[in-house]
Chains A and B, each alone.
Chain A
Amino acid sequence: MRVTNGARIIAGTALLALGLAACGGESSTGGAAAGQPVRMELGEPQKLFYPGDTTESEGAEVLGAVFAPLVSYDENKQVVNDVAESIKTTDNKVWTIKLKPGYSWQDDAGTPLTAQNYVDAWNYAANQDNAQGANGFFSRVEGWADLNPGEGKTVSTKEMKGLKAVDDTTFKVTLTKPFSQFKTMLGYTAFYPLPKAAFGDDGKITDAYAKQPVGQGYFKMDAPYNKGTSQTIDLTRYDKFPGEKPKFDKLQFKLYTSAETAFNDLRAGNLDIHDSLPPSAVASAKAELGERYIDQADAGVGYIGFPLQYNKIYSDIRIREAISMAIDRKTIADMVFSGTRAPADDFINPLLDGYRQGACAVCTYDPAKAKAQYAAANGPKTLELGYNSDGPHKEWIEAVANNLRANLDVQVSVKPFEKFAAILDELDAKTYSGMFRMGWAIDYPSAENYLTPVFSTVAIKTGSNYAGWSNKEFDGLLAKGDAAATQKDGLKFYQQADDILIKDLPYIPVYFYRINAAFSQHVKGVKINLLNQVEWAQVEKVA
């Protein structure tokens, strides 16, 4: 009989352990005690960190805490100087940037920030030999072409002609053509400076620097980030920072691969800020968190595009308009996306200056008119709609297909692609002839950024103009906007360009993205800015 007892003990202990632990509940949830950092959710960054090569949002979030930008954006969506004391131009072509005094690098000596640090960083990022992801951002600077002669050709210089440090705190940027929105761009990650110490003897950025970048912003990284092993990125407030400092002293980015898991961690009290709630969590987050749930506009736009360049079946504008009117954007935003998207009614996102509510009249759901117009234009009897199945697109694409089937009386086949790159490959090769899903997230908060990179003629080759749509008048208006005396004047032309888009519909806007974020009871004052980054100076810990 002793054997049986033994067996019972073995089998029982494991279950008992589970049971006992379960009974011990409600004891204490992991709280943010006095010494606890503010903990923020982050996806695993793809690369190591340095300004010119960090083009993805996760790395940018970290750099945003370590570096201070030249400009930032205020509550009224306007550009305001941050590290820059003044940014002056008379012709929108030559820009003189003067730095505020007092900024220093987070090294032991507190080396002062100089204008040359910007010149070095930008020249490095713009050089094709360094193959930096953000290289294209410097293409408007005079001399960029010398650093980018093309594949297989050698770069003869290391400096752009249009970039000169005048003295320790002033530098001058000359563009090839006037660009009224240039100032707006300067808040982007690619335009951060680099300290002298970042470069090795070979002139390249060292691995050590990329693992633990030394910045001139709010926080200093405590330890190198080792991709593969590091599960957190810990930072400490940099007390020599001259601007408005954060009100707490420790920040920790926690790496997650699943947004659902991160949300559970937040509910369990092990995470303080989560800025990318999945749709599945949104319903419960609203009810459970109340004021600690944030729902605000995000600058992205989702479209459906037409391959106008090589497929003639969509060439009649009445057909494109009818398709647009047949889509019930509101229901899709509310039901399919549980309110994590908003119905689109312009090509410019409401988050920015330049958006006009209801600008796109044919973006309003009007099934009767759509059907009549489609029939009048003798639209094709079968349509194809492609999307990438590696993102959350299947449901809304199916919903759109159903709208078209029901309202236009056509057959619609839905074609999934394994990944977004596969659609783009086929569009480049002109082998896919159906409609396709497309999206755009801004690089810098200017209405111009919704137009030039996606719809201009040059963007067919170098940008995201997969429709292959080209319109001289549109290009001309963009150029006028770029050359305008002020940003406000520029906006007028951009809106006129936007009108042409709405008239011509190379893509149809379907939804605007939204940010769905949440924070724990251990913090308050969480605000997310136009660049989707948390405003660290506003966050406070709750005792």
Chain B
Amino acid sequence: MSRYIIRRLIQAIPVLLGATLLIYAIVFALPGDPIAALAGEKRMDPNIVAILREQYHLNDPFLVQYWYYLVGLFRGDFGTTFAGIPVTDIMAGKFQVTINLALMALVMEAIIGVGLGLYAALRHGKAQDSLVLASTLVLISVPTLVTGFVLQLLLGVKLGVDFFPVAGVAEGWRSYLLPGFVLAGVSIAYLTRLTRTSLVETLRADYIRTAVAKGLPRRRVVGRHALRNALIPLITYLGADLGTLMGGAVITETIFNLPGIGQQLFSSVYLREQSVVVGIVTVLVLIYILANLVVDLLYAVLDPRIRYE
């Protein structure tokens, strides 16, 4: 088991190197001088631009710049922004926010998505089932941007519900409720449908019939026998979704003014801040790899026939 984990982690190294190189090259290829971008729409003193370019190795060829970055990275130095602020400082604060948001979304997905799916599966073919299916379809087809603004306007501005802050993270975990729901929205719908289908199928399996025939209480049949097997595709979905939630939070973070990684990534790409973009992506890749590893390990817990050796 531990050998498997170590092997998986070693496999992550080339993935990380490849990802950083790729991202670094992409940001490098973006048009415009990053130092000039610092000055907004005005032209900076050309002499000062030259000095700053020298200071940040911007006159060197791509591979040399990347080498400087890598050497720094091995020393645990993620570099600084072009305004001289350490990237680690920026990432520390922003990742905290996005992780909170992603976890909130994940919990909502798991509770609402699986819950609704279960509800629909057990009423398979009935009116309630159709209602759930129809409402998830609505949730899937409305873009995050719309749900976000509508909920914010409706709850925060029109109704003035203090429980859901309109923007910012000043209210602690409550600040993440609304944005978490908006971010999770589409995934909730998918997860509901996935749970429903998976469960409906499992409930038709022979071993379930056997369990029912043995006279086991329904709660035990559904909870221990059916749900446990149906969970495997759901866990895969949730694991992959964690990565998506971390990376795809730009819109939600902007609408609700959460100072997270999505926003930061957006503005850093805009300013051509290679070191920030690559730093963030590196951490995101790591999270993705770890999340996938956890998912794989969970399979073994759910289905003992799956072994990692």
Query: Which positions in A face B, CB cutoff 8 Å?
Result: 1-4, 6-8, 10-11, 14-15, 18, 21-22, 24-30, 44, 46-48, 55-56, 128-129, 131-133, 135-136, 139, 148, 150-152, 226-232, 254-258, 260-262, 264-265, 267-270, 390, 417-422, 424-425, 439, 441, 461-464
Contact = CB atoms under 8 A, between A and B. Distances in A.
Contacts of A29: 160, 162
A457 to B, nearest CB: 15
Contact of B42 (A6, A128, A269, A464): A464
B195 to A, nearest CB: 11
Interface string B1-41: 00000000000000000000000000000111100111111
A288 B52 CA distance: 47
A322 B281 CA distance: 51
A257 B122 contact: no
B84 A227 contact: no
A4 B129 CA distance: 13
Given A29-B162, A422-B32, A270 B115 contact: no
25 contacts: A1-B218, A4-B122, A4-B123, A21-B161, A25-B159, A28-B160, A30-B162, A46-B38, A131-B51, A152-B54, A228-B90, A228-B91, A229-B96, A257-B257, A261-B256, A262-B257, A264-B167, A265-B166, A268-B166, A390-B270, A419-B31, A421-B36, A424-B32, A424-B43, A462-B46
Nearest to B122: A4
Contacts of A417: 31
A136 B254 contact: no
A56 B38 CA distance: 9
A421 B159 contact: no
Interface string B136-171: 000000000000010011111111111111111110
B108 interface: yes
Interface of B: 30-33, 36-48, 50-52, 54-55, 83-85, 89-94, 96, 108, 111-112, 114-116, 118-119, 122-123, 149, 152-170, 181, 218-219, 222-223, 253-257, 259, 263-264, 267, 270
Contact of B161 (A22, A128, A260, A270): A22
A10 B111 contact: yes
A231 B163 contact: no
Contact of B115 (A7, A148, A390): A7
A260 B152 CA distance: 11
Contacts, number: 206
A257 B263 contact: yes
B254 A425 contact: no
Contacts of B166: 261, 264-265, 268, 270
Contact of A48 (B46, B83, B259): B83
A531 to B, nearest CB: 15
Contacts of B149: 260
Contacts of B161: 21-22, 24-25, 27
Contacts of B218: 1-3
Contact of B39 (A24, A55, A462): A55
Nearest to A151: B50
B211 to A, nearest CB: 13
A530 to B, nearest CB: 18
A136 B45 contact: yes
Contact of A228 (B52, B92, B119, B152): B92
Contacts of B116: 11
B252 to A, nearest CB: 11
Q: Give 6 closest A-B pairs by Cβ, nearest first.
A: A421-B32, A229-B93, A25-B159, A228-B90, A10-B115, A228-B93
A11 B119 contact: yes
Nearest to B123: A4
Interface centre among B91, B123, B219 (most CB of A within 10 A): B219
Contact of A7 (B32, B33, B51, B118): B118
Contacts of B170: 231-232
Nearest to B170: A231
B37 A421 contact: yes
